[in-house]
Amino acid sequence: MALYLIGDVQGCDEALVRLLQYIDFSPSRDTLFMLGDMVNRGPDNAQVLRRLMAFGSSAQCVLGNHDLHLLATSFGARKLNTSDTIQDILNAPDREALLHWLRHQHMAMRVGNVLMVHAGVLPQWTTEKTLALAGEVESILRSDTLGDFIAHMYGGMPNQWDDTLIGHDRLRIIVNAFTRMRYCNAQGAMDFFYKKAPENAPDGLMPWFDLPNRLTQHTVIAFGHWSTLQLPPRADVVCLDDGCLWGGCLTALKLDDVLIKDARLAERLQVKCPQSQDPLK
């Protein structure tokens, strides 16, 4: 049995097929953990979801910002952008089955000492709190109140965690951390404006994983979402978004030991992807 973490596919089914062939994936033997943004911007979004659905419990996923955008457009809470390619799902004969499956995925998952999210984890959260907060959002995603939640999901405030937050403000900041976060200030307040690599980040901002006293320092965190990051190998965090959409690679991380303590010890497997989008647009 092998466990694989896979970064942002974003509707690039052809690349996903080649990666699964390269790692010799078998759903009867192995498990995939997808790190979010399964859909959007690529050419074959519905087929990506159908493929993952067919794997049953052998494919488990956290949701990214593009996956939530699909749910929001399906409820009429957001309009399609000019760069969106999720129309194939919205117009599919099995649309409801695809959306139902997506709603029953996760916001965060843990296997052994590896915590999986799409974007990041706020420095004030322990691993256990991260999973508990993910559960709060997951229960809403699977409920009859999803439409009301989505209507209030978007926005950048509040941007700093407070245990006393309730209602839509609480859910919004949880979602933003899990699906949008890249940078925080020293106090742990999220910034959503600067999105490029850290070398030229504005003064006072740092990647969320570099904040001092982050309470998940002793947990390996795997995430996607940040194709421009090019994070050097390090023990505590690993980014698996290698720009598949932009002509980079689709990447899988093989976990030979689910209790892995050092992300540098995991085998990184990649396939080169054709460019589906122009990164300058």
Q: What is the pTM of this model?
A: 0.95
Identify the band that residue 280 occupies on the pLDDT scale cut at 50, 70 and 90.
Answer: very low
Beta bridge pairs of residue 135: none
280 falls within a domain:
no
In a domain, 35, yes or no: yes
- Please give the pLDDT value at position 258: 61
- The whole-number pLDDT of residue 38 equals 98
If you average pLDDT over residues 218-237, what whole number do you get?
93
- Is 37 part of any domain? yes
In a domain, 278, yes or no: no
Range of the domain at 193: 3-272
What is the count of structural domains for the chain?
A: 1
- Looking at residue 245, its pLDDT comes to 87
How is the beta sheet containing 249-255 ordered, strand by strand?
59-61, 31-34, 3-6, 249-255, 267-272
List, for residues 102-146, the tens digit of each pLDDT value: 999 999 999 999 999 999 999 999 999 999 999 999 999 999 999
Are 63 and 135 in contact by the 8 Å Cβ rule? The answer is no
Q: How far apart are CA 182 and CA 131, in angstroms?
A: 19
Query: Which amino acid appears at position 205 of this protein?
Result: L
- Length of the chain in terms of residues written: 281
Mean pLDDT score across all residues of the chain: 94
Q: Looking at the DSSP assignment, which residues form a beta bridge with residue 238? A: 222
User: How many beta carbons lie within 10 A of that of residue 95, not counting itself?
Assistant: 14
Q: What is the reported pLDDT for 53? A: 98
Q: Is 279 inside any structural domain?
A: no
Per-residue model confidence as pLDDT tens digits over 264-277: 999 999 999 887 66
- 119 assigned to some structural domain: yes
For 12-26, how does the pLDDT look when each residue is reduced to its tens digit (9 = 90+)? 999 999 999 999 999
User: Cα separation of 37 and 169, whole Å?
Assistant: 23
Tokens representing 77 are 């809470």
- 12: which DSSP letter? -
In this structure, what CATH number is given to the domain that contains residue 227? 3.60.21.10
Kindly state the percentage of the chain with pLDDT values over 90.
86
Is 239 among the domain residues? yes
Is 281 within a domain?
no
